[in-house]
Amino acid sequence: MSARELHLNAFLMGVGHHEAAWRHPRTDPGALDDVAHFQNLARIAERGTFDSVFLADSVQVWGDVRHTAAGRFEPLTLLTALAQATDHIGLIATASTGFSEPYNLARQFSSLDHISGGRAGWNIVTTAQDRSAQNFGREVNTGHAERYQRAAEFLDVVTSLWDSWEDDALVVDQEAGVFADDAKVHEIGHRGRFFSVRGPLNAVRSPQGHPLLVQAGSSEDGKAFAAAWAEAVFTAQQTHDEATAFYADLKRRAEAVGRPADGIKVLPGIVPILGGTEAEARSLAAELDSLIVPARAVRQLTDLIGVDLAGHPLDERLPPLPPVSHVNGAKSRFELVRDLAERERLTLRQLLGRLGGGRGHQVVAGTPEQIADHVELWFTTGAADGFNVMAPLLPSGLEDFVDHVVPLLRARGLFRTEYGGRTLREHYGLPRPVSRYSAITV
């Protein structure tokens, strides 16, 4: 195995990432309400020695209720249930810095880290949508820059709380009645623009010190935030050129703020549509796209890019879009959609098909060898440290990947055959942070 190790994350999404997955005969929509389904997915990924599983999240009803497979589970609770069904695999939950209190989120991630023996990760999102803000007392969401300013302060508070009990704070002397060395338990005394938090956290330091910090924003603000905080980045590039540029840029930004380039892992999303032959794979892709309900897809695209396309004719090209500086949503996703539509001169209907598989992530249809070639190429040529695997159908698409692609990656010496470490940080080859308070007293 090469010194540099490939990393794989299994992005779990209901019965599949394709927006019409629930309509396909290879899925069971009843599984959406079944914890055992998700536990099965986590076990499949663990059989494939994936680094982690990941659950996205939002704080609003998303898209068109009529045509969208609705969820039941909230990530932190569901991942706790997955922790009980697995032994090694990392567990990454999305949570927004926009609508929670840092004390509460710090505790819940610390708790998941304790419960799972050091396997918790947090995918940090700032949440762009007004519709989300309307569930939290505001008609209109705050601006893009301010959301990232709040996120940065949020992270400062949360990591301080995670550090507030030093690793050796516990004494547990039954005879003397001393449980903890109070000199090693710290108020954080944070007073900032968005938050004032006294601390300490009411939980001792967790196995990883800090649960793994993951992020996905790719705007200027997003990349600056990632460079400062993220240890793994889920990203969405459609082409190798875009991916290598993003990869190099992010590593450079990390180094510019004093972090090692390999301290931040870049994992583009990939929707692998697998077939025994390329024709078989393409046929499955076409079959899935034929199940898309256009009205639903238009509404989801509207939510995604923040431009109302409800009245636009399906077989015409997109209307002129506003400059990205006017967009208060997910800027990088907006640019991706705009560039894709312009580059390939797509009609709205064609664009919906291209987005239906992976909501902007690259869809690769082919044989296991072709998928493995793609992974190897991107991994070995500066485009990726690994992949965020978004199976179009679940569980079958993940099973296919684990049974047919992972063995090829292992045979090529690219991917582990068993877990070498115990914690999520160890899987990603990342160090356990020292408490900032320990650092001061040394």
Residues 185-224 that bind its own copies (CB under 8 A): 185, 195-204, 206
Q: For its own copies, which residue of 140, 177, 258, 315 counts as binding (CB under 8 A)?
A: 177
CB-wise, 136 or 419, nearer to its own copies? 136
Smallest separation (angstroms) from its own copies to the CB of 299: 11
Taking alpha carbons only, the member of 93, 19, 108 closest to residue 361 is 19
Omega cis (within 30) before 319: no
Is the Cβ–Cβ distance between 427 and 52 less than 8 Å? yes
In angstroms, the CA 89 to CA 150 distance is: 31
In angstroms, the CA 104 to CA 95 distance is: 11
Smallest separation (angstroms) from its own copies to the CB of 352: 14
Which of positions 82-141 make contact with its own copies (CB under 8 A)?
Answer: 83-85, 99-101, 103-104, 107-108, 110-112, 114-115, 131, 134-138
Is the Cβ–Cβ distance between 261 and 429 less than 8 Å? no
Is the Cβ–Cβ distance between 359 and 270 less than 8 Å? no
Taking alpha carbons only, the member of 301, 294, 375 closest to residue 336 is 301
Which of positions 46-65 make contact with its own copies (CB under 8 A)?
Answer: 58-62, 64-65
Smallest separation (angstroms) from its own copies to the CB of 110: 7
Residues in contact with 175: Cβ distance below 8 Å, sequence separation at least 6, in sequence order: none
Which of positions 318-337 make contact with its own copies (CB under 8 A)?
Answer: none
- Which stretch in 4-12, 167-175, 241-249, 381-389 sits in contact with its own copies by CB under 8 A? 167-175
Residues in the chain: 442
Q: For its own copies, what does the binding mask look like between residues 364 and 393, x meaning CB under 8 A?
A: ------------------------------
Is the Cβ–Cβ distance between 306 and 128 less than 8 Å? yes
Q: For its own copies, what does the binding mask look like between residues 235 and 274, x meaning CB under 8 A?
A: ----------------------------------------
- Structure-token pair, residue 418: 């068993």
Smallest separation (angstroms) from its own copies to the CB of 414: 34
Q: Which residues pair with 180 in a beta bridge?
A: 170
CB-wise, 223 or 359, nearer to its own copies? 359
Q: For its own copies, which residue of 35, 245, 248, 340 counts as binding (CB under 8 A)?
A: 35
Q: For its own copies, which residue of 67, 299, 331, 374 counts as binding (CB under 8 A)?
A: 67
- Which stretch in 19-27, 214-222, 248-256, 367-375 sits in contact with its own copies by CB under 8 A? 19-27
Size of the site for its own copies (CB under 8 A): 77
Is residue 314 within the footprint of its own copies (CB under 8 A)? no
Tell me how far CA of residue 151 lies from CA of 72, 97, 326, 338, in angstroms: 27, 6, 21, 27
Which of positions 286-305 make contact with its own copies (CB under 8 A)?
Answer: 291, 293, 296
Smallest separation (angstroms) from its own copies to the CB of 26: 11
Smallest separation (angstroms) from its own copies to the CB of 87: 13
- Structure-token pair, residue 127: 């949440």
Is the Cβ–Cβ distance between 17 and 272 less than 8 Å? no
Smallest separation (angstroms) from its own copies to the CB of 101: 6
CB-wise, 170 or 245, nearer to its own copies? 170
DSSP 314-365: TTSBPPPPPPGGG--S-HHHHHHHHHHHHHTT-BHHHHHHHHHTTTTSEEEE
Smallest separation (angstroms) from its own copies to the CB of 83: 7
Smallest separation (angstroms) from its own copies to the CB of 42: 12
Smallest separation (angstroms) from its own copies to the CB of 88: 16
Place of tokens 């779990």: 12
Report which secondary-structure segment, H or E, holds 375.
Answer: helix 368-380
In angstroms, the CA 109 to CA 111 distance is: 5
